[in-house]
Every structure is written in C-alpha cells, then in structure tokens.
Structure 1
Amino acid sequence: MTGAWSDMDVWRHADLLVEEGRLVIDRPGGTSHPGHPEFVYPVDYGYIDGTRGGDGEGVDVWVGTGPAAYVTAVACTIDPFRKNAEVKLFWRCTPEQIDQVEDFYAPQPQAGLIIRRPGL
C-alpha cells in the first residue's frame, strides 16, 4: 500500500477512524447496561456509525472529556459466553477515565486488556 495511510501507525489509523466517522452515544455515562443493571457506564459509550467491529456492529468507542482530540487507549475484550472478541477505542479519555473503564470491566465475565497510547 502506498500513500498517506501507509505511513501511519496504529494510533493515527485509530484517530482517523473516529475523526472521519460519526460518533453515536447510545449509553451515556452514569447509565446502567441494559442487560446487566449492576454495571454502570463511567463515561459515555457508543460506536462509530458506518464502521464494523468484531461483533458486526459499529466499532465501539468510550468517549471521555479530555482536551486531547485523539484515541488515548484501546481495549481488547474477550467474552467466552458470547464467544466473541472486540477492540474498543477510547476517544478523548483522560487517564482517570481510562482507570474508571478498567474498573468497569474488572467484575464482568468479559475480560478487557487496556493498552494506553504511549506518552500519556
């Protein structure tokens, strides 16, 4: 592959995926998971319209309130009960918000490994 896209790293690819898409927040921060009310979303959660993630739906995104308009982390999740794996992006999430999402995943059967963008 040649051109502008071929020279970028995974973080810049993730940034462009969000920047060029339309964010849809379907689970605002502070609301409960529709199927598991004990899990409360610590920050806004949604997807990028027009994309396709591991579950066939739009790529999932945690949307924070930080000043940096870029992907600050990614979560790789594996759910043995639904038999799927996904990558979820963190857009504008502060380090504290990333910690809150990590705490959100901790008690769930869905395991999440969070990778923070280097330099944050």
Structure 2
Amino acid sequence: MKELENNVYFWQKLDTLLLSCSCTIDRPKGTSHFKYSNLVYPVDYGFLSDTVGSDQAPIDVFKGTLHESYVKAIAISADILKKDCEVKLLVGCTEKETEKILQFLNQTQFQKAILVRRGKEMPSWAASD
C-alpha cells in the first residue's frame, strides 16, 4: 500500500480555489515575521481571500518567482506553540524556493513541516469522480 494516494482531482480542487480567489501578499520576500524577527520569508507570503483554513484564517500561500497559476505542492505544518496544523499552498515556486520554504518552516523546535508534491495519479476509487 502506498503511503500517499496522490489524487489528481485533489490538485484540481486546489487550483480552483487558487483561481477563484484573490491572493494577497502581506509578507513580501525578505521581510521578517511579525512576531519572530529572526524568521525571514524566503518568498512572497500571503493568503487567499474568501477562504478558510484549519485555523479559521484564510488559506496561506507561498508565491515564488515563476509565473504559474496552479498549486505545485502543499506544505503541512505542525506547530506546538499554536497547537495547530496548517496547510500552505506553494504556487510558482522553483525547486530552490521550495527548499528554502521547507527550511523556513522547519527552522524552529516548535514547528515542523512536510511537503506533498503535486501528482498526476488517479486512484482506482476516484475514477468515477
């Protein structure tokens, strides 16, 4: 059994969210986190307006330098200070930017994150969707 069923329809739904909502960048690349000044954003960071994530705030987005309008990957973070888990969309990120985002999200002892890359597979149970 696979550890992850990478369903093409899941990525289509994320793309629909991305394309149907405006993306607001409120923390440009190179700016420090508002609470922890030693944490510097490696790419533009913002949110999708009119969405709701697991923390009841809008869905977070890391926006890289590539001019692409689809979700290339998601980062799932677990934060023991905030006592939450969040999903963050990666859009238009190069491999180097993706690596820097993972380093950014994993640099403290209080938060760790994993990356799920976009796949094209369709599990047999999803064929009728």
Same fold (TM over 0.5): yes
Q: What residue in structure 2 maps to residue 77 of structure 1?
A: 77
Corresponding residue SS for 1:9: helix
Tell me the SS of whatever aligns to 1:111: strand
Shift of residue 12, structure 1, vs aligned partner: 1.0
Task: After TM superposition, list the pairs within 5 Å mapping 1:26-65 onto structure 2.
Answer: 26-65=26-65
* Amino acid in structure 1 at the alignment position of 2:83: K
* Structure 2 CA distance for aligned equivalents of residues 110 and 86 of structure 1: 11
| TM-score, L = length of structure 2 | 0.82
TM-score by length of 1: 0.88
User: How many residue pairs were aligned?
Assistant: 112
1:117 aligns with 2:126: no
- CA deviations over 1:30-83 (Å, ceiling 9, x no partner): 000010010100000000000001111100000111133210110111111211
Deviation, 1:106, is: 2.0
Q: Is the 8 A contact 2:77 2:105 kept in 1?
A: no
The one-letter amino acid of 2:117's match is: R
CA distance in 2, matches of 1:104, 1:11: 24
Q: Which amino acid aligns with 1:75?
A: A
Gaps of 5+ in 2: 1-7, 121-129
Stretch of structure 1 that moved more, 42-51 or 87-96: 87-96
Q: Give the structure 2 partner of residue 3 of structure 1.
A: none
Give the greater-gyration-radius structure (CA): 2
Q: CA deviation at 1:96?
A: 1.3
Task: Work out which structure has the larger RCO, using CA pairs closer than 8 Å and 6 or more positions apart in sequence.
Answer: 2
The DSSP-based 3-state class of the residue aligned with 2:101 is helix
| Structure 2 Cα separation of the partners of residues 94 and 49 of structure 1 | 24
RMSD across aligned positions (CA): 1.3
